[in-house]
Amino acid sequence: MKKYLLTLFCFLSLSCMAQEIPVNLEGDPPENPLEPHRSIIQLPELTFEDNNLYIYAPYYIESVTVLVKDVSGNVIYIYTAPMIAGRNTIVLSDTVSDEKYSVELLFDEWHLTGYF
């Protein structure tokens, strides 16, 4: 009986936890006729949970600038650093509330924009 109650408790506690919300990033590829890409280009993916932005980079990116803006266009967060392949976490301040925010990723001539 204890085994079933423990299993039920674990199941209910996992389903109540917050989940990462995917952020759709949009942007056009850079135009550089001198260096045509012959392979599939993988772009970073972005999710949001509580006050955390998670950037999933498919490969090491030497320099990425992350801009977070509020509805009025005011920059509330700016960050420039290398991104490792895998999950990179950016902790936003507690001032991020239920408003709508935009996020911009700038790297290697790419300019990707998303909203959360």
HSE-CB of 97 using CA atoms within 13 angstroms: 3
What average pLDDT does range 57-65 have in this prediction?
Answer: 94
Specify the pLDDT at position 30: 72
Percentage of residues in the chain having pLDDT higher than 90: 47
DSSP helix/strand/coil, 4: helix
Q: Does 80 have pLDDT greater than 90?
A: yes
What average pLDDT does range 67-89 have in this prediction?
Answer: 93
Q: What is the DSSP string of 5-55?
A: HHHHHHHHHHHHS--PEEE--B-PPP--TTS---SPPP--EEEEETTEEEE
Cβ neighbours for 113, distance < 8 A, ≥ 6 positions apart: 25, 26, 27, 102, 103, 104, 105
Q: Which of 9-13, 32-36, 98-102, 103-107 has the lowest mean pLDDT?
A: 9-13
Specify the pLDDT at position 56: 96
Mean pLDDT of the chain: 81
Specify the pLDDT at position 116: 85
- Sketch out the chain's domains with CATH numbers: 20-26+43-116 (2.60.40.3080)
Specify the pLDDT at position 1: 61
Specify the pLDDT at position 27: 87
42 vs 24: CA distance, rounded Å = 14
